[in-house]
A and B are shown apart, each in its own frame.
Chain A
């Protein structure tokens, strides 16, 4: 098992969280959708595993590089 920090690629806000802690996710799944400058940017799982933590809430402002979730792979 390795702990994978999922980071936001953008500065913006969290629009919609589509997964929850404990959930199995596969490569390519969308963890959440972020929003910035009228664009929706999905946060995609790169290596499948289990979501151990969602570190942000819907509506929260986030910075580029900020950890938004942790996935155990």
Chain B
């Protein structure tokens, strides 16, 4: 096991990794920007070092600063968390080149899966179903129109280098195509410094179902079941659950096994998530693979009892999968997570500010990097806390989550809690009839 891990992240995920380090007896080394100096979990870490001003490019995204600090404090490994540098293959290579371990897969997997059309090709080559889509489209309007006609409308314009829903734009007919492509390119260039885009068939009301996978350094991969993350606003998840309601377990088991087999063939060597879309007729297609820990990993932990972060670190340190997961994973009950964001509950506009009162509910799991008096700045994403409830049934877990959100007292910023409650209490959600258009439907009602 590593003697120490530098956590190259902030907020809820940094706090989560500090806990995992404690469980493993590993020295935890946090970094923080000037804007995050008051984060309460920094006191729980063995060390905490300021790394720069608030804007992420000058702190959490400054690779040289992170690497120089890691060397100076004698860190043996770097955990990138999610977001920031977690899916940056160049960074992972630099970490390894300096003699440190990267808590994540080998850089070649990050690079292959980070490019969405290459990832689609790879999935298709290994026999996973892939939604109809194009290769990268050129700047020529004629080529673009021809590419669009080859898959048909409606379609989605997607950045090849991206993630997080950024730059993904729906197009319903030919008249909207050119403008959407231009806008997507611009957002992609700005967000990921890569203006490459491709087109993918847009399903009307798909479900987003993703598989958690766990692999060791020898490339042995297993799946740890699925999560349903269909409740999204602006292509970003807000409510996630394990397992997916209403999908036959045999279907899930077979697809999970297939995914694990494909990733074993490829030699994938740490934790990751394979995101699939399920169409209204039950057909699955590969969407993308995230080569890191997910924001929603907690719901899988709640139903399986597996500590995914501890497992990830042990696997990165070279332990075999049979040692990390000695018994076949099993599902017990149901878990639902809600992401509490600092934003207006009606229009989802950002609402930064100071947490004048911050009293998380008890009796459920709450993951946060904040405490009372902390400032939610404009520099980072609006996540304030993740609230995760477990129950014997989906109904029980949902009721517990809803009750917990009622008891979550936050003053000083607006939050999306009223919107989360509307969704959790909607008939469609309670009936398990989730799909990616559900949030918009509930909010419009």
Contact = CB atoms under 8 A, between A and B. Distances in A.
A43 to B, nearest CB: 12
Contacts of A49: none
Nearest to B352: A11
A41 B350 contact: yes
Nearest to B343: A37
B187 A11 contact: no
A10 B349 contact: yes
Contacts of A38: 380-382
A11 B61 CA distance: 23
B350 A37 contact: yes
A34 to B, nearest CB: 9
A55 interface: no
Contact of B381 (A10, A12, A13, A37): A37
Interface string B363-399: 0000000000000001111100000000000000000
A39 interface: yes
A31 to B, nearest CB: 16
B378 A13 contact: yes
A36 interface: yes
B187 A36 contact: no
A42 to B, nearest CB: 11
User: Contact residue range for chain A?
Assistant: 10 to 19
Contact of A12 (B187, B347, B353, B378): B378
Could you tell me the dominant secondary structure of chain B's interface residues? loop
Contacts of A10: 349-351
A9 interface: yes
Contacts of A39: 349-350, 382
A12 B351 CA distance: 9
A72 B430 CA distance: 50
A58 interface: no
B113 interface: no
Interface string A1-44: 00000000111110000000000000000000001111111000
B342 interface: yes
A37 B380 contact: yes
Interface residues of B, number: 14
Interface in A25-73: 35-41, 61
A13 B378 CA distance: 8
A18 B75 CA distance: 46
B187 A37 contact: no
B40 to A, nearest CB: 20
A11 B342 CA distance: 12
Nearest to B377: A37
A41 B378 contact: no
Contacts of B353: 11
A13 to B, nearest CB: 7
A61 B187 CA distance: 21
A73 B381 CA distance: 36
A11 B353 CA distance: 9
Contacts of A41: 349-350
Nearest to A64: B351
Contacts of A40: 187
Contacts of B350: 10-12, 36-37, 39, 41
Contacts of B347: 9
Of all A-B residue pairs in the complex, the 9 with the closest CB atoms, nearest first, are A37-B350, A36-B350, A37-B382, A36-B378, A12-B378, A38-B381, A11-B352, A10-B350, A10-B349
28 contacts: A9-B347, A10-B350, A11-B350, A11-B352, A11-B378, A12-B352, A12-B378, A13-B378, A35-B378, A36-B350, A36-B352, A37-B342, A37-B343, A37-B352, A37-B379, A37-B380, A37-B381, A37-B382, A38-B380, A38-B381, A38-B382, A39-B349, A39-B350, A39-B382, A40-B187, A41-B349, A41-B350, A61-B378
Given A10-B351, A11-B352, A38-B380, 8 more contacts: A9-B349, A11-B350, A11-B378, A13-B378, A35-B378, A36-B350, A37-B378, A39-B349
